Amino acid sequence: MTFHPGPSNYLHRSMASGTSSQLAQRRLKIISGHVQPPQAREALSLHPCSAPAASSSIPKRRQEVLKWNGWGYNDSKFIINKKGQAEFTGKRYKLGGMVLPALREWMEKTFGASLEHRTTSRVSLNVNDVPPAIINEGFLYDLKATGISYSFDTEDRVFRAHGHCLNEIFTLREGLFNRIPDLVVWPNCHDDTLKIVELACKHNVCIIPFGGGTSVCNALECPEDEKRAIVSLDTSQMNRILWLDEKNLTAHVEAGIIGQDLERQLGESGYCTGHEPDSMEFSTVGGWVATRASGMKKNIYGNIEDLVVHIKMVTPTGVIEKSCQSPRMSTGPDIHHFILGSEGTLGVVTEVTIKIRPVPEYQKYGSVVFPNFEQGVACLREIARQRCAPASIRLMDNAQFQFGHALKPQVSSIFTSFLDGLKKFYITKFKGFDANQLCVTTLLFEGDREKVLQHEKQVYDIAAKFGGLAAGEDNGQRGYMLTFVIAYLRDLGMEYYLIGESFETSVSWDRVLDLCRNVKERIARECKEKGVQFPPFSTCRVTQTYDTGACVYFYFAFNYRGLSDPIHVYEQIEVAAREEILANGGSLSHHHGVGKLRKQWLRESISDVGIGMLKSVKNYVDPNNIFGNRNLL
């Protein structure tokens, strides 16, 4: 474990000055995982339906750039190269083309994985396995008349049949889903959506809205017993910024725009929303609203519920929206909160007015090492108490810290490797930190240069009181960069009998430590009881701080060699882990949502009356269950 700067070309450094557009460009590269620069700029348009869809980073035919059986872009993945070393392919990410010498050993050591034991995915999607489409002739006839784009293509349908839960990806690799959408439609604008929903009501067709497809709670899974035709309503062609209002600092956008495109396009005008969920390369504004998303930098910009000013949603009963864009209203329960987190059960979000901010002048990463997780949590709690959390602050436990080090690219010079050694010596020997105890916090500061520096000092001073040692900008920066590539790692693991998943919760401060410890222990115990042959990898990080508590994010993976039904075992363990979370005062979800994965606990989470309220809303808005994905209830 080392605390040195990576190769200088590794990541863009933070910058002190620059023109706002340059600055925005550069910043975006960092935050969006160094995706290739945008294609042609689109003119802003107020008449979306007549205008062509804006160019998007993800094409209408998703299969052209995205994997059919894994995370992310086709050209980006972890592989074990001919020398037996791990490598990340492609040029999209800065890690692309780099060798990660420590990763293989880490996998072997942590999981008991071995290069000799491989699993193989199906080579490609077998078109013949796909269940035949149920066709509603009347709906199709009327749909054709509207001129709205649609497809029966098998790949199109399968690509919209799933999110990224372990069981979904595993199913793709080994077999196929029993039920997938029968038809995909691409409305071009709000009015198109209105027409589709009207036709669906008329012909009793089930609609499942589809945004970026990054769900991790089985929200996109088609109910197997759905006898009606299922239409996947893909919002991707509704992806324009309709207008910017610089006086009020708002932007009106179509719900299908994906995070990276939104930030890039706003950045060209010197603005950003600052909403950066880890999935922002693929997820859409509509998806954020429908799942109550949370962004990494919520400390400055807020979570999605703080960011939206106005939402337009098409439901079977009509369009729901507010009559003004005022900042706050006392008009009974906020109708936005029926929409936020509705998970596609009530309608489809078509347009959103969202807050924007000028792109910050200055950004600075940082990191702090703590002797142990307890001290780290105490420090975060104090920072939250003083309400001085930087844009982002994340605390990784020891296992995750070591994991991060396994993902270090090859060191380019003897000098840096010497520096590595020196830092390690300083931390572990001179400062007496136990390498198997210490943990690290990554920080991201944003704002005016002067304020950032002041803020930085304040945070480091607090950290020092809890035994924290500043560990450099580069470690921090690398941590955030890894956020985007870590999602790719599961696909490599699955090649070697490793399966895993992440899950999250939020919990009050006094219970953070107990919850983290108990959940990890519960996972270990359940693995043992379920016959998992190797010790599991379970690790957590505190990813968000609030006045009263924090968001905790877990990774859990294990080597399933010797198990006949690994997915079932995995699911049982995840259920146990969730029960442990709930028993320790954690929430059912902080930002992933409920979907179908966590439905079983919703009643005890929000009480019988709560469920009744949600049901009565559903019954009023969608009495025929047109939006029939069966999430939540």
Partner 1 sequence: MAALVSSNSGYSQKELSCKKKDEFEDILEERRQSSDIQYAMKCYTPAIYKGLSPCKPGTLKTAVLKSEQVQYVIKQLSKETGESPDIIQEEAMEILEEMGHSLRLGAIRFFAFTLSKAFKKLFQRVCVNEEGIQRLTQVIQEHPVVLLPSHRSYTDFLLLSYIMFTYDLPVPVIASGTDFLGMKMVSGLLRMSGAFFMRRTFHGNKLYWAVFAEYVKTIIRKGYAPVEFFVEGTRSRTSKTLTPKFGLLSIVMDPFFKGEVFDTYCVPVSISYERILEESLYAYELLGVPKPKESTSGLLKARRILSENFGSIHVYFGQPVSVRTLASGRINRFQYNLVPRHISQRPSKDLQAFVRDVAYRIELIQIENMVLSPGALVATILLQNLPGMDYDVLVEKTLWLRDLTRSFGGFLDWPGNLSASKVVRSSLTLHSNLMSLVDGRVVLLGGRKEESRLTEELVFQWALSVLMCTSYRNQVVNVFVRPALVAISSQMAQSSRKEDIYHTFIFLRDIFSNEFIFLPGSALKDFEEGCFLLTKCEVIQITPHEIVTDRENAVVSFLAAMFKPFVESYQIICKYLSNDTTQVFTEKQFSSGVQNFVSQLLVTGATQCYEALSRDMQNNALSIFVQLGVVTKKQVANGLTFCANKEAVNKIAAKLGSKIPSEKVLMSRL
Residue 131 labeled ligand binder: no
Between CA 77 and CA 59 the distance in angstroms is 20
Whose tokens are 């006094």? That residue is: 510
Residue 280 labeled ligand binder: yes
- Which residues on neighbouring strands pair with residue 357, listed in sequence order? 272
Residue 349 labeled ligand binder: yes
The nearer residue to partner 1, 305 or 374, going by C-beta atoms, is 374
What is the rounded end-to-end Cα distance, in angstroms, of the chain?
46
Say whether 245 sits in a helix, a strand or coil: strand
Minimum gap (Å) between residue 522 Cβ and partner 1: 7
Say whether 429 sits in a helix, a strand or coil: helix
Helix H or strand E segment including 446: strand 439-447
Between CA 425 and CA 420 the distance in angstroms is 9
- The verdict on 585 binding partner 1 (CB under 8 A) reads yes
x/- binding map, residues 510-539, to partner 1, per CB under 8 A? xx--xx-xx--xx-----------------
**Binder among 15, 194, 582, 606 for partner 1 (CB under 8 A):** 582
Between CA 299 and CA 444 the distance in angstroms is 11
**Stretch of 100-108, 229-237, 507-515, 532-540 lying at the interface with partner 1 (CB under 8 A):** 507-515
Contact 424, 1 (CB under 8 A): yes
Contact 411, 478 (CB under 8 A): no
Residue 314 labeled ligand binder: no
x/- binding map, residues 259-288, to partner 1, per CB under 8 A? ------------------------------
The nearer residue to partner 1, 108 or 604, going by C-beta atoms, is 604
**Stretch of 255-263, 457-465, 547-555, 578-586 lying at the interface with partner 1 (CB under 8 A):** 578-586
The nearer residue to partner 1, 281 or 580, going by C-beta atoms, is 580
The nearer residue to partner 1, 246 or 514, going by C-beta atoms, is 514
Cα atoms found within 13 Å of the Cα of residue 249, Cβ hemisphere only: 13
The nearer residue to partner 1, 449 or 517, going by C-beta atoms, is 517
Residue 90 labeled ligand binder: no
**Stretch of 259-267, 272-280, 399-407, 577-585 lying at the interface with partner 1 (CB under 8 A):** 577-585
Contact 162, 168 (CB under 8 A): yes
- The verdict on 604 binding partner 1 (CB under 8 A) reads yes
Minimum gap (Å) between residue 521 Cβ and partner 1: 4
The nearer residue to partner 1, 20 or 508, going by C-beta atoms, is 508
Whose tokens are 């028993």? That residue is: 583
Per rule CB under 8 A, count of chain residues that contact partner 1: 13
Minimum gap (Å) between residue 583 Cβ and partner 1: 4
Helix H or strand E segment including 449: helix 449-465
Helix H or strand E segment including 168: helix 166-174
Catalytic residue among 73, 362, 553, 570: 553
Residue 347 labeled ligand binder: yes
**Binder among 583, 603, 619, 623 for partner 1 (CB under 8 A):** 583
**Stretch of 236-244, 271-279, 582-590, 591-599 lying at the interface with partner 1 (CB under 8 A):** 582-590
**Stretch of 87-95, 393-401, 544-552, 579-587 lying at the interface with partner 1 (CB under 8 A):** 579-587
Residue 282 labeled ligand binder: yes
Other CB atoms within 10 A of residue 632 CB: 24
Instruction: For residue 625, give every residue at least 6 positions away whose Cβ sits within 8 Å of its Cβ, in sequence order, or none.
Output: 206
Instruction: For residue 454, give every residue at least 6 positions away whose Cβ sits within 8 Å of its Cβ, in sequence order, or none.
Output: none
The nearer residue to partner 1, 64 or 529, going by C-beta atoms, is 529
Q: How many helices (H) and strands (E) does the chain have?
A: 19, 21
Between CA 294 and CA 264 the distance in angstroms is 19
Between CA 501 and CA 71 the distance in angstroms is 12
Amino acid at 8: S
Residue 130 labeled ligand binder: no
Minimum gap (Å) between residue 361 Cβ and partner 1: 42
The nearer residue to partner 1, 105 or 604, going by C-beta atoms, is 604
- H-type helices in 496-543, by residue range? 512-529
Minimum gap (Å) between residue 535 Cβ and partner 1: 14
- The verdict on 64 binding partner 1 (CB under 8 A) reads no
x/- binding map, residues 462-501, to partner 1, per CB under 8 A? ----------------------------------------
Minimum gap (Å) between residue 536 Cβ and partner 1: 15
Residue 210 labeled ligand binder: yes
The nearer residue to partner 1, 448 or 521, going by C-beta atoms, is 521
Minimum gap (Å) between residue 492 Cβ and partner 1: 32
Say whether 171 sits in a helix, a strand or coil: helix
- Which residues on neighbouring strands pair with residue 550, listed in sequence order? 507, 545
| DSSP type of residue 73 | B
Residue 327 labeled ligand binder: no
Say whether 150 sits in a helix, a strand or coil: strand
- Which residues on neighbouring strands pair with residue 80, listed in sequence order? 86
Between CA 188 and CA 237 the distance in angstroms is 5
Q: Side by side, which strands form the sheet with 230-234? A: 149-151, 183-186, 230-234, 206-210
Instruction: At 370, give phi and psi (nearest 5°).
Output: -115, 150
Residue 269 labeled ligand binder: no
- CA 149 to each of CA 144, 166, 203, 412: distance values in angstroms, whole numbers, following the listed order: 8, 31, 18, 51
Residues 176 to 215: which contact partner 1 by CB under 8 A? none
Residue 558 labeled ligand binder: no
Active-site residue flag, 553:
yes
The nearer residue to partner 1, 455 or 590, going by C-beta atoms, is 590
Residue 278 labeled ligand binder: yes
Tokens of 170: 């595993």
Minimum gap (Å) between residue 606 Cβ and partner 1: 12
298 burial level (CB within 10 Å; 0-12, 13-18, 19+): buried
Minimum gap (Å) between residue 531 Cβ and partner 1: 18
x/- binding map, residues 417-446, to partner 1, per CB under 8 A? ------------------------------
Tokens of 350: 């078509």
Residues taking part in catalysis: 553
Annotated binding residues for substrate, as ranges? Answer: 490
Residues of this chain that bind partner 1 (CB under 8 A): 510-511, 514-515, 517-518, 521-522, 582-585, 604
Annotated binding residues, as ranges? Answer: 209-215, 278-284, 291-294, 343-349, 490
Annotated binding residues for FAD, as ranges? Answer: 209-215, 278-284, 291-294, 343-349
